[in-house]
Homo-oligomer: A and B are copies of this chain.
């Protein structure tokens, strides 16, 4: 971290600051120019509060020159992380598609879709048991029962299952779930992240609606700091002024995260756009941009889905998407 001091800073206050920094095990490199005095702070500055330092009377400006994330940082872990879920691998050149309905509705619905998407080449099954809904009056998911149905679909098809957790008290229900999803609204539910850090389950961490990429990595860092490095990042659109799509899919996030971190990065074009017709072109674009995978909503009867029907594909549309993705995959930009 670098602190630029104000022109006529108080010497006494500088002494106070340097002695406080030394207590925090930070070394200081002072550079005294004619007009500008600069402090270079050396050591582990990740716990320093840059906002607090920049407010000090003697400080003109404070700037981090190192990223505040360590476990997730590619600088310290140059090789791609590969996440194994049963026989399925994601990351490090292993590309996979997760598909399934927004909500688990019934055993029949789920198993039909599961078989369809498996036949088309999906590697994992997704399905919502606990559903975060804006309205308390909307369908909230089958909850425990939904997880049971997912496990039954897994038994039948062999597909590992991915489903969302909404509260840490539900964790015991997720014992047999293969990948636990943290939704966009919970990306900064730090108590939940800490608990997930104590497990060794793969975690699918979705970017928050108004979260920067650095904040996404800091949330991954919460999980990893607890000892669980099985984190898959997911870009799913950010909230902007544009209302023609539900969110704005930020595909630049894929190559940029690739530089910042060694963790796998997948893309959710269904929730990002909210429009079924945009799912395939955005899935193909995400693949071309170097994504490690996709998560796609598929429903056997979209107009009657209990939630998010507008963005679900039919199994036929999903099969077509899979083919288009396969065509582009060999030419994806991954460096």
Contacts and interface: CB of A to CB of B under 8 A. Distances in A.
Contact of A35 (B33, B42, B133, B304): B42
Contacts of A308: 49, 51-52
A86 interface: no
Given A134-B218, A276-B55, A287-B288, A210 B213 contact: no
A36 interface: yes
Number of copies: 4
Interface in A15-74: 20, 29, 31, 33-36, 38, 40, 42, 46-47, 49, 51-52, 54-57, 60-61, 63, 65, 68
**Interface SS majority for chain A:** mixed
B238 A248 contact: yes
A241 B244 contact: no
B65 A4 contact: yes
A52 B303 contact: yes
A157 interface: no
Contact of A331 (B209, B218, B272, B328): B328
Chain A, interface residues (CB within 8 Å), range: 35 or more
Interface stretch (A118-126, A147-155, A184-192): A184-192
Nearest to A273: B252
21 contacts: A2-B4, A2-B36, A29-B31, A33-B40, A51-B310, A52-B304, A55-B309, A55-B310, A57-B303, A63-B63, A134-B215, A167-B191, A167-B192, A169-B191, A208-B210, A212-B242, A252-B272, A255-B282, A256-B278, A324-B331, A328-B328
Interface of A: 2, 4, 20, 29, 31, 33-36, 38, 40, 42, 46-47, 49, 51-52, 54-57, 60-61, 63, 65, 68, 130, 132-140, 166-170, 185-186, 188-192, 194, 208-210, 212-215, 218, 221-222, 225, 238-245, 248-252, 254-256, 259, 272-278, 280-282, 284-290, 302-311, 324, 327-328, 331-333
